């Protein structure tokens, strides 16, 4: 069995092994990392050989760390960690997967109300968890202004409801955590990615954000924006914050990951509708309201549609992707959820 793991910002770790009687055997660890002294790899082999094939990343990491501490205290693995070795072991066993192990379905459902998009997020994540659908990728298109708040945010703390009503802005609560998204048609770029949990097996939440956002940095580079990951879940350029991301994990092994980028936001209106508008603006490179928050438009000099096209092309060039459609059942379920949950005051104001 063969498994490989490319450490984000680090080196490649490769593990080859066999399984005999439910236990690891014949383990070989290799890669383009640095190890001092050379004998460190032999210690890794002795730590891993004989462990149960059901060992978790945490259990494998503990076994590696304890063996190194006992046999080679002070040894160094540079460009990777023992947990990265553990992840490569899990990939060799087929319990962790890589991007190359999956085929992604690109969905283009067209223009929908924001509440329908949040409903689709839930439906598609549940479908993957149930094994009825594979990984999916889609952009949001909408024509109704909205504030989409995180699952754990207080409605009254986040949104000035009088201002929202004055501007015709609907408030929708999504199933993922994170902060509020001020969304008018054409003013931001939002996409949802639904993947199996095996793709982020062994990664912490912070690491999974970096792992699932790595391709976005490449897509931004394609449109001449040099960006980096910052904080837990943000993407920024030297000019300021560009995007934020959020996740939701469902029992059954599915992860919803979505990203919203500011393309060209009316900062004055956002400042009135969001109660913490000034704080939101402070990390987007805008010092005051009355200006537009436009990191993507100003840095790319491209129409929003061209940026989305470039992002889609980058994703397709990087990962196996096919076109697909929502099923009638998925659309019907999402529409029911839209009405019964995502447009209901009970859900929207569940944290008043």
Chain segment 278-329, per-residue pLDDT in tens = 555 555 544 434 457 889 999 999 999 999 999 999 999 999 999 999 999 9
37 lies in the same domain as 144:
no
Alpha helices in the chain (DSSP H): 40-48, 57-71, 82-92, 114-129, 155-158, 161-166, 205-222, 267-273, 277-282, 295-300, 304-318, 328-337, 345-348
Q: How many domains does the chain have?
A: 2
135 lies in the same domain as 237:
yes
Domain-terminating residue out of 96, 117, 140: 96
* pLDDT (0 to 100) of residue 144: 92
Query: CA 281 to CA 283: how far, in whole Å?
Result: 6
Query: CA 293 to CA 319: how far, in whole Å?
Result: 31
44 lies in the same domain as 132:
no
90 lies in the same domain as 235:
no
Query: CA 263 to CA 141: how far, in whole Å?
Result: 13
Domain-terminating residue out of 96, 127, 156: 96
| For residue 68, pLDDT beyond 70 | yes
Q: What is the mean pLDDT of residues 84-93?
A: 96
Both structure tokens of 188:
């931001």
Q: What is the span of the domain harbouring residue 288?
A: 100-348
Please indicate, yes or no, whether the overall pTM of this predicted structure exceeds 0.85. yes
Query: CA 176 to CA 167: how far, in whole Å?
Result: 25
Mean pLDDT of the chain: 93
* pLDDT (0 to 100) of residue 294: 85
Which DSSP symbol is given to 288? Answer: S
């Amino acid at each position: 069995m063969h498994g490989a793991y490319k450490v984000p910002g680090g080196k490649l770790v490769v593990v080859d092994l066999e399984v005999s009687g439910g236990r690891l055997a014949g383990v070989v660890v290799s890669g383009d990392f640095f190890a001092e002294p050379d004998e460190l790899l032999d210690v890794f082999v002795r730590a891993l050989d004989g462990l149960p094939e059901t060992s978790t990343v945490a259990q494998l990491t503990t076994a590696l760390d304890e063996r190194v501490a006992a046999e080679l205290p002070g040894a160094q693995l540079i460009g990777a960690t023992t947990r990265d070795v553990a992840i490569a072991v899990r990939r060799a066993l087929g319990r962790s997967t890589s991007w190359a192990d999956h085929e992604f379905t690109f969905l283009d459902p067209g223009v929908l109300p924001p509440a329908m998009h949040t409903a689709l997020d839930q439906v598609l994540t549940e479908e993957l968890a149930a094994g009825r659908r594979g990984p999916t990728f889609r952009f949001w298109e909408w024509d109704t202004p909205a504030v989409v708040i995180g699952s754990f945010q207080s409605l009254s703390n986040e949104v000035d409801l009088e201002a929202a009503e004055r501007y015709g802005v609907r408030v929708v609560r999504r199933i993922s955590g994170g902060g509020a998204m001020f969304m008018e048609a054409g003013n931001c770029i939002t996409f949802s990615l639904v993947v199996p949990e095996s793709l982020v097996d062994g990664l912490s939440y912070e690491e999974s954000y970096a792992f699932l956002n790595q391709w976005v940095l490449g897509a931004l580079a394609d449109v001449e924006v040099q960006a980096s990951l910052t904080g837990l879940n943000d993407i920024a350029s030297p000019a300021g914050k560009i995007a934020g991301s959020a996740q939701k994990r469902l029992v059954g092994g599915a992860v919803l990951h979505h990203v919203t980028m500011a393309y060209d936001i009316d900062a004055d209106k956002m400042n009135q509708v969001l109660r913490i508008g000034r704080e939101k603006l402070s990390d987007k490179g805008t010092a005051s309201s009355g200006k537009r928050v436009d990191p993507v438009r100003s840095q790319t000099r491209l129409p929003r549609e061209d940026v989305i096209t470039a992002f889609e092309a980058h994703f397709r060039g990087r990962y196996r992707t096919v076109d697909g459609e929502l099923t009638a059942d998925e659309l019907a379920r999402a529409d029911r959820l839209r009405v019964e949950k995502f447009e209901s005051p009970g859900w929207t104001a569940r944290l008043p």
